[in-house]
């Protein structure tokens, strides 16, 4: 029996943040690029489990990748689940999200077409809510390599400046309204 696409993709992270925050997760401080943070993997298998609330397909959220040109990395319809707001050991609030298989495929194709694996240092991720860019940040080498190697499974953390902004963003994803 051939393993599922998700099993082949393995484990790890991507994506975005809103309201003056970046996306990180269990990556060393010196591995974070960008103004507020970077893309990184989730830190435990339990964070990557497909648990949490489903996301509204029509939530006005889009995540873009810019390397020379701006491309859509994924949209809210590609996010399968969002877990409740949590706070890490340093007091930084975050959300753990998981993309659907379709979302992983779309984001991986876009990232590879843009050359993210080789040019992650030049990359900028933007989170756009209701047509307005809410945040921009960089991508860690670990995530870029994971995507390029086909090991990324669509699980990622989004960090926020405050619990209120994390809760607001989560509400937008779950209800579909900004």
Measured between alpha carbons, how far is 154 from 170 in angstroms, rounded to an integer?
17
Instruction: Give residue for tokens 């873009």.
Output: 64
Reported as a single tens digit per residue, the pLDDT across 118-155 is 999 999 988 899 999 887 778 888 889 998 898 988 98
- Can you tell me the mean pLDDT for 155-171? 88
Q: For 55-80, what is the HEC assignment? A: CCCCCCEEEEEEECEEEEEEEHHHEE
Q: What does the pLDDT read at residue 107?
A: 94
The b-or-e profile of 91-127 (16+ CB within 10 A means b, else e) is ebbbbbbbbbeebbbbbbebbeebebbeebeebbbbb
Torsion angle of alpha carbons 117, 32, 87, 83, nearest 10°? Answer: -10
Q: What pTM was computed for the model?
A: 0.70
Measured between alpha carbons, how far is 160 from 52 in angstroms, rounded to an integer?
18
Reported as a single tens digit per residue, the pLDDT across 84-117 is 999 999 998 988 889 999 999 999 999 999 999 9
Q: What does the pLDDT read at residue 84?
A: 95
Place 1 in a pLDDT band, splitting at 50, 70 and 90: very low
Reported as a single tens digit per residue, the pLDDT across 5-54 is 333 333 223 333 332 234 433 333 332 333 333 344 554 444 445 478 99
């Amino acid at each position: 029996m051939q393993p599922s696409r998700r099993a082949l993709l393995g484990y790890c992270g991507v994506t975005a943040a809103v309201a003056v925050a970046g996306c990180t997760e269990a990556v060393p401080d010196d591995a974070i690029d960008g103004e507020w943070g970077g893309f990184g993997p989730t830190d435990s298998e339990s964070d990557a489990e497909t648990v949490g609330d489903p996301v509204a397909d029509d939530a006005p959220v889009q995540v873009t990748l810019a390397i020379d040109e701006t491309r859509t990395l994924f949209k809210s319809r590609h996010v399968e689940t969002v877990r409740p707001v949590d706070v890490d050991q340093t007091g930084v609030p975050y959300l753990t999200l998981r993309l659907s298989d379709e979302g992983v495929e779309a984001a991986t194709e876009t990232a590879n077409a843009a050359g993210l694996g080789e040019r992650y240092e030049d990359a900028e991720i933007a989170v756009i809510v209701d047509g307005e860019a809410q945040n921009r940040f960089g991508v860690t080498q670990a995530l870029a390599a994971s995507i390029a190697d086909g090991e990324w499974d669509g699980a990622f953390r989004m960090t926020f400046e405050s619990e209120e902004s994390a809760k607001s963003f989560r509400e937008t994803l779950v209800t579909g309204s900004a």
